[in-house]
Amino acid sequence: MQTDIRRFEDRRFHDGGQRRAAFLGMIFVASIIGGIACQQPIRPTEPTLSDLAPERAPDDIWDQTLSVLTEHGFVPDRQDRANGRITTRPTTSKQWHEPWRSDVADKYDVLMASLHTIRRSATVQFVYESRQWKVDVEVRIQQLSEPEPQITTASSALHGFTGALPDSFGRQSGGRRRWRDIGRDGEMESRLIREIAR
């Protein structure tokens, strides 16, 4: 009887060890696959220009651009038809739990937007040169940069995020937020240009 119990306990411990090793192995493989599929994209520095079909009317191009921007979650802010420029309001970017949104084009940017507060804004510029319309799209990415409040007591935690407390360097923030520019979203720019040029 005693040996049967000991065998059962040995087998249970052995099975648990195998399960634990398999679980850790799956986590290791998933992290490697996730790391390969989720690398930071190279941010563009040159303009993203594309030629538009010469037979398209400027009003049709303008309307198509507005509908493409709206489909991707960019709300038009200013429309300057005289200078051929459309700008959008900054919009907080898609996170992992928002699969219906399409304002972020790659996995790395979705991961970053899920970890940090990030917003995007688009600028579309139409240029008429060499008897042909060209379109330039620029999608700017900005990250929220707020000073960390200096919370030293339990009662200061109540006022920690109102801007009433100094930050960790002793400066008074006054509740101001600062958006730090982190570059352009080349993948989203390419996607918008492809859809505008259709």
What pLDDT digit, counting tens, does each position of 159-190 carry?
666 666 666 666 666 656 788 898 888 888 88
Whether 31 is covered by a domain: the verdict is no
DSSP designation for 128: E
Give the structural domain span for 152.
38-196
> Would you call 150 exposed, middle or buried from its count of C-beta atoms within 10 A (0-12, 13-18, 19+)?
middle
| Domains in the chain, number | 1
Choice between 127 and 45, residue whose per-residue pLDDT is larger: 127
Q: What is d(CA 82, CA 71) in angstroms, rounded to the nearest whole number?
A: 24
Identify any residues that bridge with 142 across adjacent strands, giving them in sequence order: 119, 181
Quick count: other Cβ atoms within 10 Å of Cβ 104? Answer: 26
For the chain, percent of residues with pLDDT exceeding 70: 68
- Residue 22 belongs to a domain: no
Assess if residue 186 is contained within a domain. yes
Q: Which of 9, 23, 50, 61 is nearest to 138 (CA)?
A: 50
Q: Is residue 190 part of a domain?
A: yes
In a domain, 25, yes or no: no
In a domain, 3, yes or no: no
Residue 133, domain member (yes or no): yes
Give the number of other CB atoms < 10 A from CB of residue 42: 9
Mean pLDDT of 47-52: 74
Dist. CA 81–CA 93, nearest whole Å: 27
HSE-up of residue 113 (Cα within 13 Å, Cβ side): 25
**Distance (Å, rounded) from C-alpha 93 to C-alpha 121?**
10
Q: How far apart are CA 32 and CA 17, in angstroms?
A: 23
- What confidence score (pLDDT) does residue 78 get? 93
Q: Is residue 181 part of a domain?
A: yes
